Amino acid sequence: MPALTPHPARRPRRPALIALLAALLPLLATLLATAPPTAARAQAPTAQLTEITGFGSNPSNLQMYLYVPDTVTEHPAVLVAVHYCTGSGPAMHSGTEYASLADRYGFIVVYPSVTRASKCFDVSSPQALRRDGGSDPVGIRSMVDWVTRTYDADPDRVFATGISSGAMMTNVLLGVYPDVFAAGAAFAGVPFGCFATTDGSEWNSACANGTVTRTPQQWGDLVRAAYPGYTGPRPRMQLWHGTEDDVLRYPNFGEEIDQWTDVLGVGRTSAATDSPAAGWTRTRYGGTGDRAPVEAISLQGVGHNLYTWGMADRVLTFFGLDGDGPAPQPQPGGCRVTATTNAWNTGLTASLTLTNTGTAPVQGWRLGFTLPSGQTITGGWGATYAPASGAVTASNASYNGTIAPGASVSVGYQANHGGNSAAPAAFTLNGTACAVR
């Protein structure tokens, strides 16, 4: 059969196509050069409160309001300001000075806003109290992600603050997203998990009345259970509470301190106490400077509506967003670990020597590490180990919780193994990576 020859009308006209492309390419290059960047087209107007829609996953139908100052710093910080019950994002914007402070320091403010009838944030459902479980925390994280993408914001400088229901949500956000938030400031709140309910109710009277009490480790375990296996850095926390609070009663303040000092591994012994204003008692834990791991301010004779103009400046100092604050306090986390194992058929013992290479004493420590596959701890000494396999946290015993600069503590454990008897390869002390040798 003779070869088929294309119909003359269907033959490619290569010279004509090349000429057409040559004419179009300069025009296409001009269009690309003059088109605004995608992120720029999505940015909000500056110096005004703007509602943002379509910002990402939002299972509880929150609204997102955004304030961007006229002058934004390069890779700006992001502050999430969370409103009280019956409030709204616009009310939080007009009732606090975070927008005017953003004008001064160049950060961006996100104001989440509840649409449910109560106008209270969900801090009680099982979905809200676990990472990516659903409800309000997921929507708020989506807001942060949207701002980070759109403005090339600094992911290491994302902060949360809130009042009442917003303070409770601040505790929740720092618990479920410790890898997103660097620090929080909670005005008249309750500990993470204190408001938990299983019957669909948004209100927990026992917690509100200050009758829910736990040990520091029990409170800390609630936070750690929200993101199982997480061993990275934990956000710092600033706590505010009035002694005459009749809505979320004052005992909750002490329970919050117990929780966050345990989570941050700094112990309940105060590092510094002063009175920065009349009737105020400020106590710092784990450090003496403006950015201590935990800072707690008690207001004598003050009720639930404790927030007043000027307090936001102190929040920014704690966050390090005021532009001229001191350098962060040395954290009790500079460390070195020496790890060895002695193995037999299906078992081993491991010896760990933890050295404080920082400049401040370690007051309460948690050593995080991941066991090699197939290993299960059956016993230990010098620390409490949990869980028995996978990502493990070794918590100090009552007699070795303080490690002076340059000093060491030796602990160890016994474990079964399935053939891999190696020591863990990496360690963290209170969330900070240690050198290993």
H or E segment and range at residue 433: strand 432-433
Q: How many of the other CB atoms lie within 10 Å of CB of 291?
A: 20
List % helix, strand, coil for the chain (3-state, nearest 5).
25, 25, 50
Burial 388-416 (b: 16+ CB within 10 A, else e): beeebbbbbeeeebbbeeeeebebbbebb
Cα separation of 376 and 392, whole Å? Answer: 10
124, 135, 164, 165: the active-site residue: 164
Catalytic annotation present for 164: yes
Burial class (CB in 10 A: 0-12, 13-18, 19+), 224: buried
Cα separation of 235 and 237, whole Å? Answer: 7
Q: How many of the other CB atoms lie within 10 Å of CB of 168?
A: 31
Cα separation of 364 and 321, whole Å? Answer: 28
Cβ atoms of 195 and 207 closer than 8 Å: yes
Helix intervals (H) in 309-432: 311-319
Active-site residue numbers? 164
